[in-house]
A and B are shown apart, each in its own frame.
Chain A
Amino acid sequence: MAEIIITVDGVQITVPDTMNVVDAARLAATQIPVFCYHPRLPAVGMCRMCMVAIGMPRIDRDTRQPMLNEHGKPIIQMFPKLQPACTTRVADGMVVITNSEEVKFAQNGVLEFLLTSHPLDCPVCDKGGECPLQNLTMEWGPGNSRFDYSDKVHFEKPYKLGDLINLDRERCILCSRCVRFQDDLADDSVLGFDQRGRKWHIISKSDPPFDSKFSGNTTDICPVGALTTSDFRFRARAWELTSVPSLCNHCAVGCNTTLDMRHNQLQRVMPRDNAAVNDIWICDKGRFGHRFIEREHRLTTPLVRRDGQLQPATWDEALDVIATNLRAIQAAAGGAALAGLAGEHLANEDLFLFQRLFREVLGSNNLDTRTGVPGEYALDDVGYQYGVGVGTNLMDLGKGTAVLVFGADPEEEAPLYMLRLRQIVTQGGSLIVANPRPTKLDRSATQTLHYRPDSEREVLLALLKLVSAETKQIPQRTTGGAELKGTLEQTKLDAVAKLSGLEQAALAQAAQTILAAEHLLIVYGADVLVHGASLSALLANLLILRGKVGLANSGLIPLLARGNSRGALDMGVRPDKAAGYAPLKQAGLTAREMWPAALAGKLRGMYLMGSDPVASYAPARAALDALAFLVVQDTTLTATAQLADVVLPGTNVAEYDATYTNAERRVQRARLARKVYDASKPNWEIVQAVAQALQGELVLAGAASSTTVTRTVGGNGKSGDGVQGKLTLTTSTASPVAAQESWDYITVGEVAADIADLVPGYAGITHTALAQTAQTKEWGRQANEDYFYDGTSYTNAEGVGLQVPAGAELPKATFDLTPPPATKVPASSTYPFALLVQTLAYRNDPFLHDSLLQSHIPAGYIALNTADAAQLGIAAGAQVQLTSAAGSLRGTARVVPDLPAGCVLVPGGLVDLPVATIQTGALTRVAVSSVAE
């Protein structure tokens, strides 16, 4: 890329020679109007809105030098016709004229033409007020129309392109942005055109129609109101909306959004520009899956069980009951008899206080974010240790970058990664997709590796062997090299090839790609996360051997379950480590261990915050029933809450200001968008109220103390928001108790400041710091030119987040190469098949319950390879039974040719096929039989 000089309307600027004239002119602060051009899409030059006059220096044929006029200036030869600025690349010495009469005539002309077919129904159009066609007409249009025929284009008006997206073909200006987005960015070529001339129109080519997880983005970049969402259609006018910066918590991407509110009600969710996270896109889950914010039957007041019934109560009463009961259990059986579960969608502030409550006030390490379902994700520390370095920006990556996607289906698990990884490939990077089964990302891959289920460990060892053979020097501060060497010596490539079904040459090719990479990213998902460090540590070893740890644009990206899964791990809502991964002397119970402990009477009381184990894991019910005391804090009366003694009305992401940490450890802030329902409170406030009530109880009870800790808080002055004070607190257990803190936070910012002070890595991440951006543009509705260049995604001027350094970036970090022991579940003749559970984007997720996506949740199925199905005599559509050591399950068979032999694939999280009921652990072995009709 070379820098060249061009002149735009007399202004000379230096621009990269890869730019087109539209983008280059913007650098000279000159707007060239566009409709079909979009900076993220390949230019097509269709709408002819961007016609400008272009000239080039006349070149002397003999000297190959520009010819000069009598003043010594280059003679400029203008092209005989106007040129489309969007498809014309800049060249050295180019002269662009955008304001001549000729250009204005052409621009007026195109707008006048466009409006001859356009219905001009702005008063009833959802795009009105934020419509590039309106804006361009005002700025570049002729002012009136000489088209005096009542002959607009006519089509049936509301036309469902898919159930989420409506197409108004009358308004469509045929720019093909939507088609190109689907083809080039989303890789779902589901839209196309039909007919020609003025009848030319957009159609959906897929069945079901407009079948794409990214469909909503087309409504943002559509330069007119032709594409509107079923979710927002006719809800509000754009100018009535108050836009509040928020985040999507559905998955670990953590897309930046705005919640567009009117009268305290959510009208729509829109993407908010963040180059390092979601660019200007969000997936349909983010856009349509936020109706839970105003779900029906919200809890509006605390409930206390009286006479066996949950009845409304005051906060004082509820807190009193909680304090009395928790303290009583603690006094009688110690903190170890208490446990807490919290949801991974909750904010850092909620989770930080929750673990403080348990560790400091109640003296318990029995904490988890999971619910004990067999086959759930292990706690992912490797992703923190070797995660991508601070400064990572996927948008910048291309040539020189290698991405290894291992055991992951990004489109389903974290949809936006699909777009981001594809972009790396488009920009020249390599993408290896390694999975037991085909995924959509395979189509974008530069290499795919389909290994047999349960050969992951061997495949990774083989890659490590090939990579280590080329590694001259093991990086400093590394331990475990000898152990790794030993394991790799025992790894035989031919044996791995045989076991995994991969060609040795394919493994070698993958290793070469890894070895050649300047930036090495490894993305892993569900298939690795269920196994935890036994696989992820091997992925980390690839990075260590390549010396790609603690560096920007290299590292691990785990596709964790939810928007704040990383935050929950960082905050220490887990039994084995305190906040910031600090080791504990004695670990508490995991969720899986809690249920037997409750049944055995060892666990007597629980406090669940945003956690609904009864819904995800039926056996939890009996255990919860066995408890002496149960508190549930949530936004609705969940199945679990119905069992509680006290129910506390909590809040969701829209109802309080707080921070969340995404898969790349970027801490981002969502703002308060709507008033809370009646008596409900921000989650962190409730936790604090419980702590305060417990402290009051302590004073009242004048409890006999075994330990007394005194500590000054907020003393290091890093976070100006910290509270100075002294607190003496007494606990009655001998379990490891972290330093004590006061419980008198007034604002959520003070909690964040404490996190910044106390959680390693979070230093400096205060709410004030998070609000800063490099951009100076005022945040809010766009009234600037980005509007027609980028669509209606929002400019981000309220903070693009700050990254927490990976463990490997800490000054004295050491890197351990020791391969973790294998955890194998061998196949047996009783259970010969490996059960692959697929994480789906659209599943029975309570957060999606009130959304339009509900109808996109597929019916359950059991997929088998063609040969296996034939051998078992199972036809597609037949009923089959899966039997594992844990139970059996019936479902409808699907026969899939490209599934590997010896496994069955079942979508997880569906009500009609609760596969969790037969899972036994990270890998479940099953028998498959056909069910006689």
Chain B
Amino acid sequence: MALTEHVIMRELDVPNIADFNVYLQHDGYVAYRKALTEMKPNEIVQIVSDAGLRGRGGAGFPTGRKWSFLPRGVYPRYLLCNCDESEPGTFNNHQIIDLNPHQLIEGVALSAFAIEAEVAYIYCRGEFATAVNTLEHAIEQAYAAGFLGKNILGTGVNIDMYVHRGAGAYICGEETALMESLEGKIGQPRNKPPFPAVEGLYRKPTIINNVETLANVPPIVLKGVDWYRSYGTQQSPGTKVFSLSGHVNRPGNYELPFGVTLRELIYSPEYGGGMHGDRPVKIIIPGGASAPWLIDKHLDTPLDYESVAAAGSMLGSGAVMVMNDTVSAPHLAYKMDEFFKHESCGKCTPCREGTHWLVKVLHRFAEEGHGRAEDIPVLHSIYRQMQGNCFCLLGESAVMPIKSALALFPEEFEAYVARAASNGHDGQNGSAKGKPVIALQQR
């Protein structure tokens, strides 16, 4: 399935494409120039729709459809590029900026033109200091070359682009929290509706897309719908940069057409190169920490939105985390939920208090070795009390690790309880009669 030509990771095809001149020599800004001089904004929206481009930020929402939600005649409009990239296991946005920044800038500018926004912001995760520098430099070059600013290429089109560096909160990747943060407020999600397309940044119509989504736009406009649809599946066309991590031999970003199977991604020598020490696959989290877990029997699932959903999970950000049998499911759930607890913004009760309590109980199991039989129904109860009741998807995502762990590996929880009992623990903090059990599976 290896690609001979990449859509996003073009640095593999064109050495040094991060250099502005190299980028220009290799079709750089050709699509943009063509769009501005020869096309109407809604033609681009149509092309993107026809190409079937889907949002790479997690939900896989059709980008052209999202753009078409903008209320007619309401200006100013804003385009936001979401580069908060904080989903555990996800590391492709950063790499796009490092190795192929101009394609992103062109994509943002081209999309701003398409939705008739005169201002675009690229919101970067706080830790992305080098990425911010790279972007700012690339934007400067684009301004200098006359691709940004006022009356671009003499067409009368104005587009300004700014990079904003967040303060390092996962929740600021959520689209409305990102807008709050950009407006200088505390980063917390807003009520929906109104949806951003109607009332977003500064209460104006706003489109927000992921870095990878927008980087797809120039090649689509340049090479056309048919070319794009020659990759991937009918409903998930194109390619995806999968961030592969975990107990694989070759973790990293791999751009592959949608529909490649988990097995190929993990085991192909060109990609994952198989499991570390040839140990068996135990848990696969196919779409970032928010995705329900899959197991070895799902290895033949094709990685496209529909197939992963059919397997009971979601493709999410395309961050594939693979765990071998040395990993304890309760411990993994503990680690994952610890993340969500740490990142919970606190706005709603179920997520704020639920994640805290979950982590408390999981810590008791996985770290202290005091798990008790009655804790298991409590764990079930906590996630049920959260599920469907949280204000935003962060809280809902926090349900996934514990729910998956309890559903797929109930015996591991029971084993913890049994071991704690045999060690004479009564489950009370600090009143253990023996030493806590830490070693779980043989490593």
Contact = CB atoms under 8 A, between A and B. Distances in A.
B352 A197 contact: yes
A149 B360 CA distance: 8
B363 to A, nearest CB: 10
B73 to A, nearest CB: 23
B354 to A, nearest CB: 6
Interface string A38-72: 00000011111101000000000000000000000
B350 A113 contact: yes
B344 A106 contact: no
A147 B390 CA distance: 20
A200 B349 contact: no
Interface string B362-395: 0000000000000000100100111011110000
B4 interface: no
A109 B385 contact: yes
A330 to B, nearest CB: 71
A81 B186 CA distance: 28
A523 interface: no
A197 B186 contact: no
B345 A200 contact: yes
Given A45-B391, A82-B389, A109-B389, A151 B350 contact: no
Given A192-B186, A196-B344, A197-B345, A113 B357 contact: yes
Sort chain B's interface into a size bin: 20 to 34
Contacts, number: 99
Nearest to B354: A113
A114 B360 contact: no
B435 interface: no
B241 to A, nearest CB: 30
A845 B384 CA distance: 58
A46 B429 contact: no
B244 to A, nearest CB: 30
Pairs A-B, 7 closest by C-beta atoms:
A109-B385, A200-B346, A113-B353, A81-B388, A197-B344, A197-B346, A196-B345
Interface in B312-347: 341-347
A149 B429 contact: yes
Contact of A47 (B169, B348, B356, B385): B348
Nearest to A49: B349
Given A46-B391, A48-B391, A198-B346, A112 B385 contact: yes
Given A106-B389, A149-B429, A113 B349 contact: yes
7 contacts: A45-B391, A110-B350, A146-B381, A174-B347, A174-B349, A198-B356, A200-B345
A87 interface: yes
B171 interface: yes
Contacts of B441: none
A235 interface: no
A193 B186 contact: yes
Interface in A59-95: 80-82, 87
Contact of A196 (B171, B385, B391): B171
Nearest to A43: B191
Contacts of B429: 149-150
Interface centre among B343, B352, B378 (most CB of A within 10 A): B352
Contacts of A159: none
Given A198-B356, A200-B352, A113 B385 contact: yes
Interface in A159-189: 173-174
Contacts of B391: 45-46, 48
Contact of A198 (B352, B389, B390): B352
A116 interface: yes
A199 interface: yes
Given A106-B385, A106-B389, A109-B385, A48 B345 contact: no
Interface string A494-507: 00000000000000
B198 to A, nearest CB: 16
A100 to B, nearest CB: 14
Interface centre among B344, B354, B388 (most CB of A within 10 A): B388
Nearest to B347: A46
Contacts of B191: 44-45, 87
Given A48-B389, A105-B385, A193-B186, A174 B346 contact: yes
B341 to A, nearest CB: 7
Contacts of B389: 48, 51, 81-82, 106, 109-110
A112 B384 CA distance: 13
Interface string B62-85: 000000000000000000000000
Contacts of B350: 48, 109-110, 113
A932 B384 CA distance: 75
Contacts of A929: none
A105 B384 contact: yes
A117 interface: yes
A879 to B, nearest CB: 39
Given A113-B357, A174-B347, A197-B344, 14 more contacts: A44-B191, A45-B191, A46-B349, A46-B391, A48-B350, A49-B349, A110-B350, A110-B389, A114-B349, A193-B186, A196-B171, A197-B345, A198-B352, A200-B345
